[in-house]
Chain A
Protein backbone atom coordinates (compact mmCIF):
# COMPACT_ATOMS: atom_id res chain seq x y z
CA UNK A 1 0.00 0.00 0.00
CA UNK A 2 1.64 3.22 -1.17
CA UNK A 3 2.11 5.95 1.39
CA UNK A 4 2.20 9.67 0.77
CA UNK A 5 4.32 10.44 -2.28
CA UNK A 6 6.26 13.67 -2.69
CA UNK A 7 8.36 15.02 -5.52
CA UNK A 8 11.00 16.09 -6.03
CA UNK A 9 12.93 14.71 -3.06
CA UNK A 10 15.59 17.39 -3.41
CA UNK A 11 15.40 20.79 -5.06
CA UNK A 12 18.19 23.31 -5.43
CA UNK A 13 17.30 26.63 -6.98
CA UNK A 14 18.45 30.20 -7.10
CA UNK A 15 16.86 33.11 -5.32
CA UNK A 16 13.98 34.57 -7.30
CA UNK A 17 13.07 31.37 -9.10
CA UNK A 18 9.69 29.68 -8.86
CA UNK A 19 9.58 26.38 -6.99
CA UNK A 20 6.76 23.84 -7.16
CA UNK A 21 6.52 20.94 -4.74
CA UNK A 22 4.14 18.06 -5.39
CA UNK A 23 2.22 15.64 -3.22
CA UNK A 24 0.03 12.60 -3.76
CA UNK A 25 -1.89 11.68 -0.59
CA UNK A 26 -2.88 8.20 0.49
CA UNK A 27 -5.87 7.03 -1.51
CA UNK A 28 -9.12 7.58 0.38
CA UNK A 29 -7.74 10.21 2.72
CA UNK A 30 -9.77 13.42 2.75
CA UNK A 31 -7.36 15.71 4.62
CA UNK A 32 -4.06 16.95 3.25
CA UNK A 33 -1.47 18.99 5.14
CA UNK A 34 1.65 20.90 4.13
CA UNK A 35 4.38 21.35 6.77
CA UNK A 36 7.77 22.99 6.84
CA UNK A 37 10.59 21.74 9.08
CA UNK A 38 13.66 23.74 10.08
CA UNK A 39 16.16 23.40 12.89
CA UNK A 40 15.10 26.72 14.37
CA UNK A 41 11.32 26.40 14.23
CA UNK A 42 10.76 22.66 14.10
CA UNK A 43 7.71 21.31 12.28
CA UNK A 44 5.19 24.00 11.33
CA UNK A 45 1.83 23.60 9.63
CA UNK A 46 1.52 25.81 6.56
CA UNK A 47 -1.92 24.94 5.21
CA UNK A 48 -4.41 22.11 5.16
CA UNK A 49 -7.21 20.98 2.87
CA UNK A 50 -10.38 19.00 3.46
CA UNK A 51 -11.99 17.40 0.43
CA UNK A 52 -9.74 19.51 -1.81
CA UNK A 53 -10.85 22.79 -0.19
CA UNK A 54 -8.31 24.92 1.72
CA UNK A 55 -9.47 25.18 5.32
CA UNK A 56 -6.71 26.98 7.20
CA UNK A 57 -3.82 28.80 5.52
CA UNK A 58 -2.85 30.88 8.54
CA UNK A 59 0.57 29.22 8.64
CA UNK A 60 1.53 30.30 5.12
CA UNK A 61 4.38 32.72 5.77
CA UNK A 62 3.82 35.18 2.95
CA UNK A 63 1.98 35.83 -0.27
CA UNK A 64 4.93 34.26 -2.04
CA UNK A 65 3.55 30.90 -0.92
CA UNK A 66 0.48 29.35 -2.50
CA UNK A 67 -1.05 25.87 -2.42
CA UNK A 68 -3.63 24.13 -4.55
CA UNK A 69 -5.43 20.83 -4.54
CA UNK A 70 -7.13 20.37 -7.93
CA UNK A 71 -8.32 16.85 -7.10
CA UNK A 72 -8.27 14.27 -4.34
CA UNK A 73 -5.00 12.73 -5.44
CA UNK A 74 -2.77 15.73 -6.07
CA UNK A 75 -1.61 18.91 -4.38
CA UNK A 76 1.06 21.50 -5.06
CA UNK A 77 2.90 24.01 -2.92
CA UNK A 78 4.40 26.86 -4.90
CA UNK A 79 6.91 29.49 -3.84
CA UNK A 80 7.31 32.46 -6.14
CA UNK A 81 9.76 34.11 -5.91
CA UNK A 82 11.90 31.91 -3.70
CA UNK A 83 14.30 33.32 -1.10
CA UNK A 84 17.21 31.74 0.81
CA UNK A 85 15.16 31.78 4.04
CA UNK A 86 12.70 29.39 2.40
CA UNK A 87 15.35 26.66 2.57
CA UNK A 88 13.84 23.84 4.64
CA UNK A 89 12.34 20.39 4.37
CA UNK A 90 8.72 20.49 3.23
CA UNK A 91 6.45 17.62 4.21
CA UNK A 92 3.06 16.63 2.97
CA UNK A 93 0.79 14.54 5.19
CA UNK A 94 -2.67 13.08 4.79
CA UNK A 95 -5.32 11.67 7.08
CA UNK A 96 -8.81 10.29 7.08
CA UNK A 97 -11.04 12.68 9.01
CA UNK A 98 -13.86 11.88 11.37
CA UNK A 99 -11.79 9.07 12.77
CA UNK A 100 -8.46 8.75 14.46
CA UNK A 101 -7.10 11.83 12.67
CA UNK A 102 -3.68 10.26 12.51
CA UNK A 103 -1.58 12.07 9.95
CA UNK A 104 0.73 10.04 7.72
CA UNK A 105 3.72 11.88 6.40
CA UNK A 106 5.53 11.69 3.10
CA UNK A 107 9.33 11.51 2.78
CA UNK A 108 9.66 15.27 2.33
CA UNK A 109 11.28 17.61 -0.18
CA UNK A 110 14.55 19.20 0.87
CA UNK A 111 14.61 22.68 -0.67
CA UNK A 112 17.77 24.72 -0.92
CA UNK A 113 17.54 28.27 -2.23
CA UNK A 114 20.92 29.77 -3.09
Chain B
Protein backbone atom coordinates (compact mmCIF):
# COMPACT_ATOMS: atom_id res chain seq x y z
CA UNK B 1 0.00 0.00 0.00
CA UNK B 2 1.30 3.45 -0.92
CA UNK B 3 2.13 5.68 2.03
CA UNK B 4 2.99 9.35 2.39
CA UNK B 5 4.23 10.97 5.61
CA UNK B 6 4.75 14.70 5.89
CA UNK B 7 6.77 16.48 8.54
CA UNK B 8 6.57 18.59 10.52
CA UNK B 9 2.81 18.70 11.10
CA UNK B 10 3.07 22.43 11.70
CA UNK B 11 5.82 24.98 11.13
CA UNK B 12 5.95 28.57 12.32
CA UNK B 13 8.47 30.89 10.70
CA UNK B 14 9.35 34.53 10.86
CA UNK B 15 9.16 36.43 7.62
CA UNK B 16 12.44 35.89 5.77
CA UNK B 17 13.35 32.75 7.73
CA UNK B 18 14.00 30.01 5.18
CA UNK B 19 13.11 26.38 5.90
CA UNK B 20 12.07 23.06 4.35
CA UNK B 21 9.08 20.75 4.48
CA UNK B 22 9.57 17.01 4.16
CA UNK B 23 7.51 14.37 2.36
CA UNK B 24 8.58 10.75 2.82
CA UNK B 25 6.93 8.14 0.68
CA UNK B 26 6.75 4.44 -0.10
CA UNK B 27 5.22 3.49 -3.39
CA UNK B 28 5.38 0.54 -5.74
CA UNK B 29 6.93 2.41 -8.63
CA UNK B 30 6.64 6.19 -8.58
CA UNK B 31 4.85 7.74 -11.52
CA UNK B 32 4.80 11.23 -10.07
CA UNK B 33 5.02 13.20 -6.84
CA UNK B 34 2.79 16.23 -6.51
CA UNK B 35 2.87 19.27 -4.24
CA UNK B 36 -0.28 21.26 -3.57
CA UNK B 37 -1.02 24.34 -1.50
CA UNK B 38 -4.33 24.61 0.34
CA UNK B 39 -5.68 27.81 1.87
CA UNK B 40 -8.42 27.67 4.52
CA UNK B 41 -11.84 27.09 2.97
CA UNK B 42 -10.43 26.40 -0.48
CA UNK B 43 -9.48 23.42 -2.60
CA UNK B 44 -5.87 22.30 -3.05
CA UNK B 45 -3.97 24.37 -5.60
CA UNK B 46 -1.40 22.63 -7.77
CA UNK B 47 2.23 23.68 -7.33
CA UNK B 48 4.61 21.10 -8.79
CA UNK B 49 4.97 17.63 -10.24
CA UNK B 50 8.25 15.72 -9.94
CA UNK B 51 8.83 12.52 -11.86
CA UNK B 52 12.31 11.21 -11.13
CA UNK B 53 15.00 11.34 -8.46
CA UNK B 54 17.23 14.38 -8.83
CA UNK B 55 14.54 16.50 -10.43
CA UNK B 56 13.99 20.02 -9.09
CA UNK B 57 11.32 22.62 -9.83
CA UNK B 58 11.01 26.22 -8.71
CA UNK B 59 8.24 28.76 -8.45
CA UNK B 60 8.87 32.12 -6.83
CA UNK B 61 10.08 31.38 -3.28
CA UNK B 62 9.39 27.66 -3.51
CA UNK B 63 11.65 24.88 -4.74
CA UNK B 64 10.73 21.21 -4.76
CA UNK B 65 13.29 18.41 -4.91
CA UNK B 66 12.96 14.65 -5.17
CA UNK B 67 14.98 11.62 -4.09
CA UNK B 68 14.03 7.96 -4.24
CA UNK B 69 12.51 8.09 -0.75
CA UNK B 70 11.48 11.66 -0.09
CA UNK B 71 10.76 15.10 -1.43
CA UNK B 72 11.51 18.48 0.07
CA UNK B 73 9.72 21.75 -0.41
CA UNK B 74 12.20 24.51 0.29
CA UNK B 75 10.83 27.93 1.14
CA UNK B 76 13.29 30.80 0.73
CA UNK B 77 12.67 34.09 2.53
CA UNK B 78 8.98 33.33 3.13
CA UNK B 79 6.32 36.02 3.36
CA UNK B 80 3.09 35.97 5.36
CA UNK B 81 1.15 35.20 2.17
CA UNK B 82 2.98 31.87 1.97
CA UNK B 83 1.02 30.74 5.03
CA UNK B 84 -1.08 27.71 4.03
CA UNK B 85 -1.23 23.94 4.32
CA UNK B 86 1.14 22.20 1.93
CA UNK B 87 0.09 18.77 0.73
CA UNK B 88 2.25 16.10 -0.87
CA UNK B 89 0.81 13.24 -2.94
CA UNK B 90 2.23 10.29 -4.84
CA UNK B 91 0.95 8.45 -7.85
CA UNK B 92 2.10 4.91 -8.54
CA UNK B 93 2.37 3.21 -11.87
CA UNK B 94 -0.70 1.10 -12.47
CA UNK B 95 -1.05 -1.80 -14.87
CA UNK B 96 -1.62 -1.20 -18.57
CA UNK B 97 -3.40 2.07 -19.18
CA UNK B 98 -4.85 2.25 -15.69
CA UNK B 99 -4.60 5.51 -13.89
CA UNK B 100 -2.80 5.25 -10.56
CA UNK B 101 -4.69 7.14 -7.91
CA UNK B 102 -3.11 9.89 -5.81
CA UNK B 103 -2.28 9.11 -2.19
CA UNK B 104 -2.03 12.26 -0.09
CA UNK B 105 -0.08 12.99 3.07
CA UNK B 106 -1.68 14.74 6.03
CA UNK B 107 -0.06 18.04 5.15
CA UNK B 108 2.17 20.60 6.85
CA UNK B 109 0.53 23.73 8.20
CA UNK B 110 2.89 26.64 7.54
CA UNK B 111 2.48 29.94 9.35
CA UNK B 112 4.73 32.86 8.48
CA UNK B 113 4.69 35.75 10.93
CA UNK B 114 5.51 39.31 9.79
Q: Which residues of A contact B (CB under 8 A)?
A: 4, 31, 42-45, 48, 50, 55-56, 91, 93, 97, 100-108
The closest CB in chain B to the CB of A108 belongs to B43
The closest CB in chain B to the CB of A55 belongs to B99
A107 and B43 contact, CB distance less than 8 A? yes
Segment among B11-19, B56-64, B101-109 that sits at the interface with chain A = B101-109
Q: Which residues of B contact A (CB under 8 A)?
A: 31-32, 34, 36, 41-46, 49, 87, 89, 91, 98-99, 101-102, 104-107
Q: How many A-B residue pairs have C-beta atoms within 8 angstroms? Tell me.
A: 49
B106 and A42 contact, CB distance less than 8 A? yes
Contact of A107 among B31, B42, B99, B107 (CB under 8 A): B42
The closest CB in chain A to the CB of B46 belongs to A102
How distant is B3 from chain A, measured CB to nearest CB, in Å?
12
What chain A residues lie within 8 Å of B42 (beta carbons)? 107-108
A102 and B44 contact, CB distance less than 8 A? no
A-B contact pairs, 10 of them (CB 8 A): A42-B107, A43-B87, A45-B101, A45-B102, A55-B98, A91-B44, A93-B43, A102-B34, A105-B43, A108-B41
What chain B residues lie within 8 Å of A108 (beta carbons)? 41-43
Tell me the bound Cα distance from A106 to B43 in angstroms.
6
The closest CB in chain A to the CB of B48 belongs to A102
A103 and B46 contact, CB distance less than 8 A? yes
